[in-house]
């Protein structure tokens, strides 16, 4: 992100565009992490539902760690530990890795709940009609279970988008980091934080409204 900002000057239109660009960076890192994390979380949730020994003994505890340890600690530890093992990750890549793992750990329980929401009698009926296991998962479990847990997934996605602000501790200039830079220069924290909050609202509100519209359509 290129910028030519002199220190200790008032807020101007260039600062507004600076925040807007930072908001796009927030949206980008969130979209990448949520997309990949949702796919992995769905896979992990299926593994947990099937109750395989490896999933129960290995995957479950690992997901619990990512759910339980504060996200900021995960970010700092990974960013500082990665170079030790030869991984040259910049702040964006490190943020994506941890946010993806965090998202997957949350979505795994959501996905497992969605599979469990489809009653066994319905699944047995599908199999009795000649559907294979994977056809049952695709045409019965995914549509019904997906609708049941969709609100929970939306909550996870919005939460991860807000939690992406913690990537600022790694030096990634997203919305919160940009706000801190401008506050230091302009000494106008109320104005800057209000604008940052407005940008977060602008990113989150369309998602929540579209999700509510989908839920209403499915309920008809």
The reported pLDDT for the residue numbered 180 is: 87
Architecture of domain 15-119+149-219: Orthogonal Bundle (1.10)
Let me know: does 12 contact 191? Beta carbons within 8 Å. Answer: no
Residue 167 near residue 180, CB atoms below 8 Å: no
pLDDT in tens, 35-63: 999 999 999 999 888 876 666 778 888 88
Model pTM score: 0.87
**What b/e readout covers 106-142, taking b as 16+ CB neighbours within 10 angstroms?**
bbbbbbbebbeebeeeebeebeeeebeeeebbeebbe
Query: What 3-state class would DSSP assign to 195?
Result: helix
Q: Is 159 exposed, middle or buried (0-12, 13-18, 19+ CB in 10 A)?
A: middle
Query: Is the pLDDT assigned to residue 84 strictly greater than 60?
Result: yes
Q: What proportion of the chain, given as a percentage, has pLDDT over 90?
A: 33
Can you give the pLDDT at residue 160? 93
Q: What residue spans define the domains of the chain?
A: 15-119+149-219
**Mean local confidence (pLDDT), 174-189:** 85
CB atoms within 10 A of CB 50: 11
* pLDDT category of residue 184 using cuts at 50, 70 and 90: confident
Write the pLDDT tens digit of every residue in 192-201: 889 889 999 9
Tens of pLDDT, residues 90-100: 999 999 999 99
| Per-residue pLDDT reduced to its tens digit, 108-139 | 999 998 888 887 788 888 888 888 888 888 88
Tell me whether residue 12 is exposed, middle or buried, using C-beta atoms within 10 angstroms of its C-beta: 0 to 12, 13 to 18, 19 or more. Answer: exposed
What is the pLDDT, as a whole number, of residue 178?
87
């Amino acid at each position: 992100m290129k910028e030519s900002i002199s220190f200790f000057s008032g807020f101007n239109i260039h600062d507004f565009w600076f925040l807007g660009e930072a908001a796009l960076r927030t949206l980008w890192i969130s979209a990448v992490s949520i997309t990949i994390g949702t796919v992995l979380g769905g896979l992990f949730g299926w593994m947990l539902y099937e109750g395989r020994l490896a999933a129960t003994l290995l995957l479950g505890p690992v997901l619990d760690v990512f759910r339980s340890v504060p996200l900021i600690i995960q970010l700092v530890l990974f960013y500082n530990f990665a170079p030790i093992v030869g991984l040259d990750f910049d702040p964006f890549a490190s943020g994506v890795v941890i946010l993806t793992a965090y998202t997957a750990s949350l979505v795994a329980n959501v996905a497992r709940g969605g599979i469990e929401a489809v009653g066994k009698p319905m699944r047995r009926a599908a199999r009795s009609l000649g559907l294979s296991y994977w056809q049952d998962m695709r045409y019965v479990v995914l549509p019904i279970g997906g609708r049941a847990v969709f609100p929970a997934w939306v909550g996870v996605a919005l939460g991860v988008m807000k939690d992406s602000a913690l990537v600022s501790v790694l030096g990634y200039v997203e919305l919160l980091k940009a706000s801190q830079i401008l506050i230091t220069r302009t000494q106008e924290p109320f104005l800057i934080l209000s604008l940052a909050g407005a940008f977060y609202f602008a990113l989150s509100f369309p998602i929540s409204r579209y999700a509510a519209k989908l839920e209403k359509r499915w309920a008809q």
